[in-house]
Amino acid sequence: MRVALLARVHLGTVAVLFALTLVACLLVAGLPRAMQGAFDDALRRSLATASAAQADLTVTVTSSSREQDLRERSQFDSLDHQWRRITPAALRSVIASTSQMSAKTSLTPVTGTGGKQYVNLGWLSDADRRVDWVRGRAPGDPGTTRYKGQTIPLLEVGVVEEALSEMGLRIGQTTTLGESGHAAVKIVGTFKAKDPGDRYWQRNADILHVRRILPQGALDFERHITTLTSDAGLSAISGEGRNLSYHWILPIAAGSANAQAAPAVKTAITDFGRVAAVQRTRGVLQTGLTKLLDDFLAALASAQTVMYLVLGGLLAVALGVIVLTTRLLTDRMDHTLALARARGGSLRQVAGAAAALTALAVAPSAVAGYALSFLVPGPVLPIVHVGPVLVVVAGVGFAAARTALAHRTPLHERRDDVASARPTARRITLEALVIVLALAGAYLLRARGLDAAAGQDPFLLLVPVALTLAAALITLRCYPYPLRLFVRLAARGRAAVPFLGLTRAARARSANVLPVLILLPALGVSVFAAVISDGIAGTQRLASWQQVGAPVKVTSEAEIPAAAIARVRAMAGVEQVVPAQTGRVQVGYSSERAEAVAVDVAQWRRVLAGAPVGLPALPDGTALVSPELRGRGTIDVGWQSRMKLGTQGVIESVPGFHDKGKFMIVPLSALVRPAVNVLLIKGDVSLDTLARLLPSATLESQEGALAAIRDDPLTSTVRWTLLVVTVALAGYALVAVVLSLVIGAADRAVAVSYLRTLGLSDRQAQRLTVLEILPMILVTALVGLGLGLGLPSALGPGVDLSSYAGDLPVGDYSLDLLTPSALAAGLSAAAVLGAYAHTAISRRRGLGAVLRVGDLS
């Protein structure tokens, strides 16, 4: 058969199939790439913004004798090559090419200070590139000196300027270290970091700053500083008699990380640590990268769960719409193929012609959609290749199979006036089994939760499919029954159009209503996506208020002077300022401690007016306590003075301050002399101006916290994908409505033509068509909306979206009525407009173009 001629005859349908396939393949191949690219960006951002202690790998080797000492740089380089050689390939791919090596002593006391001052010895492999010497000179070769009749090593060292004033040191001073195994250091210069904000110094903060440590039970602080010595001085640092450790820091190259390899990297870290420990030098691996990857993979698993659900629904609906269009194409070809079959054409030729025409439409468009998907940034996943192939196979395979079944015998004739057979007991049993299994699956998913060990739990992916199929079966079987009730009511009236329209809707065959059921998964998944998106947005706003506790919060380590508070109150845009004091207080007379916030709760509640968080009233002389402090009646609190406060109530969290542990809110008036260190501000405040007024304070805003949550790459990816899928599915739902109108157009035209011979007017024909189509669309739309609204609750613990909502559980899946109303109204409007368009087109046809000779006899 001439496929090109068939394509010209049915050009309109072929063009529609081409466009639908192009869009479907672009979405199926492009969205996964965009998602995976966003996942990679999220991991790289997480690694880049993490502290050095979290992200980098540190191999530590300790020395306790001269035999274990490393005295030359070449020894460090040799061990660095060893660590990199035993690093697993998956981990090696994300490690930077250069290492940072160091040698440091710890807890090296200054002789005669009673453990109050510690001057540790340090060496950095790249100190010459990291520091500038500002006074004196750089350290030189080591020497020896005499101490109590013994010859001890003397090292030349440098310190930061801060150490001179904090620890009473001076350039040129020689200091003896240790209580046994003494050594001496001579301070020959001071230095400063070339870039103090470089991530490098997070690992070496002990060199840049004096650490002040208050031991438990002590009244005076210990002061610790680590000095810098030269490569030559390294030979004089020994682990004999002091705590000496060598470090090889392997920095992570965040730009080379990708989300797909994250599990392999996590496993490689464990393997690397195990292998390093059995080397001759017995290296100990220290890193927070495993915890960082665990947190990322947990958030990624939630994102992938939602993505698989909505993209799976999108693929199913896209395939369904393409199959509907293919059915329309084969229906249009039915007369031609029947004629060819009657003239001796084989079944293979007839089915091959239908498949070839379909392939002519879907194959080029699939290739075009596949090619366009490469304009979307992101890695190429297997679904990018498999998705378009699946679309082509579904379209061509359905065309071949349907044509082969319809033309098994030549000169086939279908009788539209024969009543359809009742479903068999076996079919009813199978459908009931599907419904029971879907409900049981939803119950078990909520009861048992997810199988974390299985990664993507297949149970979670199957339950939504089963629920959608169950809802479709129930709709298909039950929708005629309410319609028959309306038919009986319409039969009592004098108008014939309502009775005829509803009767045709109630008696529609299963084959005629199946196209409309594409609406059910389309609406279900799109509403599910909208519900999830709204739930995330609402919880993000709640989380931002929980994090800050006010539109603007000012926190200071020192007391905020009253004059500064007055200047803040006088700022433009400030409506209210609530002062507060925070501190750690004694509970009772024991060692029990709790975090406390002293504030005027009545004023704070006015600041929180209209916010999703709030606080109960707090009368004077009472306190609000955390769940861990409940049931104690009157609480004795030690804070500035002893206070006895009655327990007014229990609160789960204090917005902007505490959400776990032991905490309480007390009235600010209960303090003898409040030392305000927090300001809660309401109003449209300029943060830059506020920062200039309080330069030493930390500023937080609710809007800033909300923006930070929303700007997270994973969060923005989830919400963006949900929006795209919602729009795409809404479009597919409209296409399904149009296709259902077109597929039944021929049969409907015959019925309307019969009635026109009996005096049916054009307006009555339009109303008849609307009443025939609209009930099924409305029923399916309502079921789809209900399914979408119920899926989040049905999936229960299977969808954990807290990672995208400030670590708060997303449990409020309420949906604004605007979304379902717009979807239902849009579909109904499309059905009505389609019905009017159909009758307008049919009106231009003569009865002879529809009715055959003998049809009216």
249-282 pLDDT, tens digit each = 999 999 899 988 999 999 999 999 999 999 988 8
- Which residues neighbour 764 within 8 Å (Cβ) at sequence distance 6 or greater? 497
User: Has residue 229 been placed in a domain?
Assistant: yes
pLDDT of residue 796: 60
Question: What pTM was computed for the model?
Answer: 0.76
Does 390 reside within a domain?
A: no
More confident residue, 542 or 522: 542
Per-residue confidence band for 53, with pLDDT thresholds at 50, 70 and 90: confident
632 phi and psi, to 5 degrees? -105, 0
- End of a domain among 637, 667, 696? 696
Give the ranges where 67-202 is alpha helix by DSSP (H). Answer: 73-85, 89-92, 127-130, 161-167
What integer best gives the mean pLDDT of the chain? 84
Q: What's the mean pLDDT in 345-355?
A: 88
- Give residue for tokens 């717009």: 822
pLDDT: which is higher, 423 or 557: 557
Residue 176 lies in a domain: yes
Give me the amino acid identity at 751: A
DSSP one-letter code for 850: T
> Is residue 192 helix, strand or coil?
strand
| pLDDT of 510 strictly over 90 | no
* Model confidence band, residue 525 (pLDDT cutoffs 50, 70, 90): confident
Alpha carbon of 734 to those of 68, 681, 789, 846: distances in Å? 76, 49, 20, 30
Burial class of residue 693 (count of CB atoms within 10 Å of its CB; 0-12, 13-18, 19+):
middle
Higher-confidence residue of 89 and 825: namely 89
The residue segments making up the domain with residue 581 are 557-696
Kindly tell me if the per-residue pLDDT of 845 is higher than 80: no
Q: What is the mean pLDDT of residues 204-217?
A: 85
Report the DSSP beta bridge partners of residue 597: 582, 665
Q: At 490, is the pLDDT very low, low, confident or very high (cuts 50, 70, 90)? A: confident
Query: Which positions ≥6 away from 319 have C-beta within 8 Å?
Result: 24, 390, 391, 394
Dihedral sign from CA coordinates of 710, 714, 717, 719: negative
* pLDDT tier for residue 576 given thresholds of 50, 70 and 90: very high
In the chain the first and final C-alpha atoms are separated, in Å, by: 37
Q: How many structural domains comprise the chain?
A: 2
Tell me the pLDDT tens digit for each residue of 24-45. Answer: 999 989 988 888 888 898 899 8
Q: Is residue 330 predicted with pLDDT exceeding 70?
A: yes
Counting residues of the chain whose pLDDT is more than 70, the rounded percentage is 89
The pLDDT value recorded for residue 857 is: 43
Quick one: tokens of 653?
């969290």
108 lies in some domain = yes
Q: Is residue 634 part of a domain?
A: yes
Q: Determine which of 190-204, 727-741, 814-828 has the lowest per-residue pLDDT on average.
A: 814-828
Q: Is residue 729 part of a domain?
A: no
The answer as to whether 355 is a domain residue is no
* Beta strands 243-250; 57-63: pairing state: antiparallel
What is the phi-psi region of residue 114: left when phi exceeds 0, alpha when psi lies from -120 to 50, beta otherwise? Answer: left
Q: What is the pLDDT of residue 473?
A: 83
- pLDDT for residue 729: 81
SS (H, E, C) 406-443: HCCCCCCCCCCCCCCCCCCHHHHHHHHHHHHHHHHHHH
Please name the residues in contact with 158: beta carbons below 8 A apart, sequence gap of 6 or more: 133, 136, 138, 139, 187, 188, 189, 190, 191, 227, 228, 229
Question: Is residue 73 one of the residues assigned to a domain?
Answer: yes
* Domain termination site, one of 671, 696, 721: 696
Cα–Cα distance measured from residue 345 to residue 704, given in angstroms and rounded to the nearest whole number: 72
**Span 805-829, average pLDDT:** 68
Looking at 681, 696, 711, which one is the last position of a domain? 696
Host H or E run for residue 17 = helix 11-49
